[in-house]
Amino acid sequence: MSDQADDWFKRVEYSYMQRFAINCVRAGKLPKHVAFIMDGNRRFAKVKEISRSESYAMGFEKIGEILDYCETFDIRCVSVYAFSVENFKRSEEEQGELFSLFSEKMEYLLGRTDKLQAKGIRINVLGDITLFPAHITKALAQLQLQTLDNSEFFLNLCLAYTTRDEITHSVECMAQGVVAGDLRVTDINETLMDQCMYSEDLPPVDMLLRTSGEVRLSDFMIWQANFAALQFVKVLWPDFGFWHLIGSLLDFQRHEPLISQNRATYKPFLQRMTRAELSAVAHTEHCTLSSHEDCHFNEAISEAYIETHRNRTENFINNLKDERRKLLENCAEITVAGA
């Protein structure tokens, strides 16, 4: 393992001008959750005339640098698009390079869980880790389990991920709940859908940033970023630095009042809509069970139905979390051939 990897946990030393910029930006409102599409590694390799593996390794080191910047700005939740489901269509040679890098870097992080614990970093992997070779699946599961109780900083590695896959997985979970009798079809709504996503416990994305100059989202956290400020920065990921982030944060602050206003308006609207839908279901069911003349529906009946719905969905979500924990534990115990 190269000594360069130890830089991942080193603090950045800021210049006078950088400290001045930090103080200026910190005077305004900052995002709580920033998501990065780390684009441009292959182009960086061509420009610098280095191997793809070297460029990808530099991209990994860049994550550590970005985490330090985000900690400076008290941004405690960072998501990075590390490997899309679509990336499995790349050549076997390139997949092999990436899997080798994943294996090396997971081994590096597993060997430094003491530093992750000291910084309170929790690592979440969003995506279907079972699609990877067994040794990578095992390492990813172990890394999540060993940092599960940390809560100071959340690093979300989106691996074998797309929004379409995440939504499909969420719908499948709810459908299985209905078949098992843990849910009713009328329990399914936007709030429950959100709780079934890979990102269940995370705050919504406030700023989504893509490097390389490409202006597209590539099926990344579209559900979570519905109110996010979008930043498309014309720099390749390994070259992304402090001043690029400063510019993006300043632009975020320009749009933040409208983002906050839209969120503040939408949340109570969603709550009212959900209550109205549940009340309508309660009315229909109550009057179906009663004769038309005896259908005396009132607020108390509606509230009782909503409370029953709330308890049922909470139990379902708690069971789902337990199942996901058990899946991680099983993956962490996988026997790897040749190990």
Residues of the chain predicted below pLDDT 70? 1-7, 9, 289-295, 297, 337-339
pLDDT at 3: 45
pLDDT at 289: 67
Contact 106, 140 (CB under 8 A): yes
pLDDT at 325: 96
Contact 51, 45 (CB under 8 A): yes
Region for 231 from its dihedrals, namely left if φ exceeds 0, alpha if ψ lies in -120 to 50, beta otherwise: beta
Tell me the C-alpha distance between 82 and 101, whole Å.
11
Phi, psi of 229 (to 5 degrees): -80, 130
Per residue in 204-231, pLDDT (tens digit) is 999 999 999 999 999 999 999 999 999 9
Contact 259, 282 (CB under 8 A): no
Tell me the C-alpha distance between 160 and 229, whole Å.
24
pLDDT at 279: 85
Give the contacts of 284 (CB within 8 A, at least 6 positions apart).
none
Tell me the C-alpha distance between 318 and 338, whole Å.
37
pLDDT at 294: 62
Name the DSSP class of 228: P
Tell me the C-alpha distance between 243 and 62, whole Å.
14
pLDDT at 299: 82
Give the contacts of 244 (CB within 8 A, at least 6 positions apart).
211, 233, 235
Q: Find the largest Cα–Cα distance for the chain.
A: 82
